[in-house]
Structure 1
């Protein structure tokens, strides 16, 4: 949605035309509660004028009373009844309002989270979509409810306003219409400020994310050591405050405009009200109307003033919130990553993978990340992928796992084009440990069970996998406490080192019954002994399956059935270690660099290699 700083009538009409969309969304989520709130708001809007009329009759009856007080008592009791009824309606309405606010907030947040989970990886790597998600999630707890509350308040105010003006018009139609002139004129200016306010918040979404990120790293344990050691506190606090100072200046400017407009509006309304009250007093002095009528007209003017202001505020809020709602609708209408068509094939165990002339380029980048990749992978084969940083290894894995769509060329799975496969069934055959693996601040059971969610309660199998990966640090009396909270975000959590978290992530991958196992830099956070254990387990579990691992360490790659060497998005070598030393200059250079060390390191390297070879 294009957001402009200047408000035009057609843009205002377009925004207000979105209201049916909002009603449809509300009815989908909370139809019954919303109808109840509207009914109560209409009743609440009628009661003030009913109360006003009864009080007028009560005062007039006191003025004209002679001997019979029964009429006065009857009117007084009626007045009390209406007051009690009004309070009852108010309390019931408050209850439903609170319930509605809770339900609508949770349900919309659930809807946004569900939508996010159905997007593609490329959407999360797109800054424009990420900013849109930031705007939506930042205000979802109150903006949608704010527009509903504004609609309900406006309904009440409109009923009260119209009934009050009708009451005044029964006395003096021409004068009463003056009370409507100023709100109508002021409406456009209120909405113009609303447009400017939304534009400011819309434009600064990127900066909001930056300030959130600074706050995040300053308030969480993972960053504390570096912040303390390098004394980054003051720099980051100043950076955060510079961003917020800009926000404060922008918000203060809008607040000043609102204050000036409200002041002018209130003065104008008070002057018109004073004229009407003066006319009423003069009419009573001339004997044309009674004292009770004067009091009721004064109160009617006050009701019109208050509720016209309330309507203005509500329209302003509806307009401003509708701009947000349009952002929400645009996000909810984003294309989801789904299996489309009716001929999608279910994937049985993966026996072969073939890349045929596959190329890939990231959005807004001029150079291809992968260039004409041709390679095949087969069951029972363990393949190492090596190459310098930025050579395209991770992009290759993302295409292989179906996280990216193939742009050019074909990927064949068991001889079938990956585009013809049911992606859910395909991904069910893959277990992966990514370089940026997740550290779920949840229980041990969830951390492992997320590998195959439909077997979350199979703790016996989890026990086996944890033993295979040697997660001894969580073992107590020969067993694992699967309810143990991992991480320090929540109460009674247990902190883990980077290597320990990686072992948990590895156990999660091995918990899945897959036919293709993928490890992306599995030894990054591990010591040599743990590294050897990881690869021993990998080679054991991937027997008779497809096993793929990315590694910068050739000592591990040597053990693979084949080594794929990548550089600058291309495959520059395929073969075994000895063969590549002769045919691939880059691989030879990597080997020489890895073996360039002092005598002590050389002895350690030999020991490590002996460990790998058992």
Structure 2
């Protein structure tokens, strides 16, 4: 009952007005057919009375009046059906849109680490399936249950006046069907949960076949038909399982429906026998037979909607499972303000970290510092832990051991939002927003007006302005090819846009993960020639494989397998003749 209340609450929150109208129209739709049934009974009785010799003229006028009333009720019924469709469509769309926003808001609250967990991906996938329509379905189930129950109450009152056994036959005959539908709902839910990962895998193949990023390799390696075969095998497996489940359920329902039909036929036979014996008038026979028919339909609808309500209740649990996920990055109840400006800088003190459900430490005993105004570089092979270190610094993850401080204050004492305002990061896998060039840069600091002159200034600093000036609509040009009129950029040009986004943010620390990896040597040289001026009083943390770009750093840390193995200036590390010097000399040979 609690989950039903939550579902109704979600629908109400999406649109109180349309939910109220929906409920009112449902009540009207329930009452109108019952009024029409009673009017038909009166018409039949009047006709029977006329045939017995009473005043035909008076009866005809009475019948005409009843017919007019029946016609009005029929018109109102049709009108109510049109209104109900309009209201239902509007409310469904309102709920769908509202639930999408609920999902989006929850998704941005959840820690980054969750996205690297397959179990979370299954939960998210099920929530995406169920969120848009399950609350509306539950509301419709409850509405239909109310309508069916109201109809049954009226019908039961009529049938009991004839014989109490009639309603008993209907109820008893329908109980096995109700129990069967509940069991089948559980079986369907269990199967749906079981096949979530297979469904995600099939969708992944679809992403590969339809996405723009994999398109080049799929064609060059000629693997498109292979992927299609794999996805067909998965879909056939899912179809076989679903058909087997549906076949079993349909066979059981057919048996139960046969039992119910026999009971209803017996009730009809009883009513006909009573009429032939003269215990009921012809109008009574029409009334009771129609009442029995409507009672059977109402009971069938009641059972079906109760089963559907149970089924939707089960599936809605997947949404609540997603909404119940709590971030592991705890926000302090009374956060400390991030120092501005930094005075002592950032310090990693014996920091170690391992990912969830992993016994291996990705970082071990990291000690480093970034003083105000310093440019620090991290170098090392792929997988050495450089990007993970940045994620800890920005509290996308929390350290497993040790601590990270700013001016001696543990960063866990800061509000994550406040911390993020002081750190501007562009990761190696930066996002290529399919927005205008202006929007792409403005997203780096949405607290500024979108027309701010600083957008162009940041584009000049990163070299993006020269690229943007060549575009058809300049800064208003849509980037990317997802939407009509978009202009695609090269990897290096996109990287300049991303750098402009990082420079726009008024942050005390700028973190650049492989900031020029897609640029040619000339563009890279231009960026780093003015890098010092760009930083001014800011600190900077550079992650790069191109060791020629880190010579200007105040201090260089060399990482290997999650540890810092060397640190110092370029000259100091070259004189030490260690890993850094070896890597630098190898790269230098390619330029000689």
**Where does structure 1 lack aligned partners over 5 or more consecutive residues?**
1-15, 604-614
Residue 133 of structure 1 is matched in structure 2 by: 124
Please report how far the alpha carbon of residue 262 of structure 1 lies from its aligned counterpart in structure 2 after TM superposition: 3.0
The question of 1:300 aligning with 2:291 is answered yes
> In structure 1, how many angstroms separate the alpha carbons of the residues matched to 2:309 and 2:224?
41
Residue 557 of structure 1 is matched in structure 2 by: 550
Contact in 2 for aligned 1:573/1:583 (Cα 8 Å): no
Please report how far the alpha carbon of residue 228 of structure 1 lies from its aligned counterpart in structure 2 after TM superposition: 0.6
SS in 2 for 1:482: helix
Please report how far the alpha carbon of residue 580 of structure 1 lies from its aligned counterpart in structure 2 after TM superposition: 1.7
More displaced stretch, 556-565 vs 77-86: 77-86
User: Given the alignment, which residue of 510, 514, 520 partners 2:507?
Assistant: 514
Alignment coverage as a number of residue pairs: 583
Contact in 2 for aligned 1:446/1:456 (Cα 8 Å): no
User: Given the alignment, which residue of 416, 426, 435 partners 1:433?
Assistant: 426
SS in 2 for 1:222: coil
Residue 417 of structure 2 is matched in structure 1 by: 424
Residue 376 of structure 1 is matched in structure 2 by: 369
> In structure 2, how many angstroms separate the alpha carbons of the residues matched to 1:492 and 1:350?
44
- TM-score norm. by structure 2 comes to 0.94
Please report how far the alpha carbon of residue 393 of structure 1 lies from its aligned counterpart in structure 2 after TM superposition: 0.6
> In structure 1, how many angstroms separate the alpha carbons of the residues matched to 2:308 and 2:369?
59
> In structure 2, how many angstroms separate the alpha carbons of the residues matched to 1:139 and 1:484?
37
Please report how far the alpha carbon of residue 152 of structure 1 lies from its aligned counterpart in structure 2 after TM superposition: 1.6
Residue 37 of structure 2 is matched in structure 1 by: 52
The question of 1:528 aligning with 2:517 is answered no
RMSD between superposed Cα atoms in Å: 1.9
User: Given the alignment, which residue of 133, 139, 151 partners 2:142?
Assistant: 151
> In structure 1, how many angstroms separate the alpha carbons of the residues matched to 2:489 and 2:100?
31
More displaced stretch, 16-25 vs 245-254: 16-25
User: Given the alignment, which residue of 32, 49, 58 partners 1:64?
Assistant: 49
Residue 11 of structure 1 is matched in structure 2 by: none
Contact in 2 for aligned 1:38/1:155 (Cα 8 Å): no
SS in 1 for 2:553: coil
Please report how far the alpha carbon of residue 460 of structure 1 lies from its aligned counterpart in structure 2 after TM superposition: 2.1
Residue 192 of structure 1 is matched in structure 2 by: 183
Partner deviation per Cα, 1:449-508 (whole Å, 9 max, x = no partner): 10001114134221222222222232149x963321111111111112222211111111
> In structure 2, how many angstroms separate the alpha carbons of the residues matched to 1:602 and 1:91?
76
> In structure 2, how many angstroms separate the alpha carbons of the residues matched to 1:534 and 1:192?
66
> In structure 1, how many angstroms separate the alpha carbons of the residues matched to 2:544 and 2:244?
55
The question of 1:339 aligning with 2:324 is answered no
Contact in 2 for aligned 1:463/1:480 (Cα 8 Å): no
User: Given the alignment, which residue of 300, 303, 323 partners 1:309?
Assistant: 300
More displaced stretch, 218-227 vs 568-577: 218-227
> In structure 2, how many angstroms separate the alpha carbons of the residues matched to 1:533 and 1:462?
19
Contact in 1 for aligned 2:372/2:539 (Cα 8 Å): yes
SS in 2 for 1:340: coil
The question of 1:37 aligning with 2:22 is answered yes
> In structure 2, how many angstroms separate the alpha carbons of the residues matched to 1:444 and 1:220?
22
Residue 547 of structure 1 is matched in structure 2 by: 540
Please report how far the alpha carbon of residue 424 of structure 1 lies from its aligned counterpart in structure 2 after TM superposition: 1.5
> In structure 2, how many angstroms separate the alpha carbons of the residues matched to 1:265 and 1:402?
59
The question of 1:104 aligning with 2:98 is answered no
Contact in 2 for aligned 1:350/1:516 (Cα 8 Å): no
Please report how far the alpha carbon of residue 22 of structure 1 lies from its aligned counterpart in structure 2 after TM superposition: 2.1
The question of 1:363 aligning with 2:356 is answered yes
Please report how far the alpha carbon of residue 584 of structure 1 lies from its aligned counterpart in structure 2 after TM superposition: 6.2
Residue 269 of structure 2 is matched in structure 1 by: 278
> In structure 2, how many angstroms separate the alpha carbons of the residues matched to 1:485 and 1:544?
34
The question of 1:473 aligning with 2:467 is answered yes
Contact in 2 for aligned 1:349/1:429 (Cα 8 Å): no
| Equivalent runs, 1:396-435 vs 2, <5 Å | 396-435=389-428
User: Given the alignment, which residue of 489, 496, 512 partners 2:489?
Assistant: 496
| Consecutive aligned runs of 4 or more in structure 1 exceeding 4 Å deviation | none
Please report how far the alpha carbon of residue 246 of structure 1 lies from its aligned counterpart in structure 2 after TM superposition: 1.5
> In structure 2, how many angstroms separate the alpha carbons of the residues matched to 1:227 and 1:370?
36
Please report how far the alpha carbon of residue 372 of structure 1 lies from its aligned counterpart in structure 2 after TM superposition: 1.1
> In structure 2, how many angstroms separate the alpha carbons of the residues matched to 1:167 and 1:445?
72
- TM-score norm. by structure 1 comes to 0.91
Contact in 1 for aligned 2:515/2:544 (Cα 8 Å): yes
**Where does structure 2 lack aligned partners over 5 or more consecutive residues?**
none
> In structure 2, how many angstroms separate the alpha carbons of the residues matched to 1:376 and 1:260?
71
SS in 2 for 1:305: helix
SS in 2 for 1:170: helix
Residue 612 of structure 1 is matched in structure 2 by: none
> In structure 2, how many angstroms separate the alpha carbons of the residues matched to 1:129 and 1:184?
39
> In structure 2, how many angstroms separate the alpha carbons of the residues matched to 1:62 and 1:536?
102
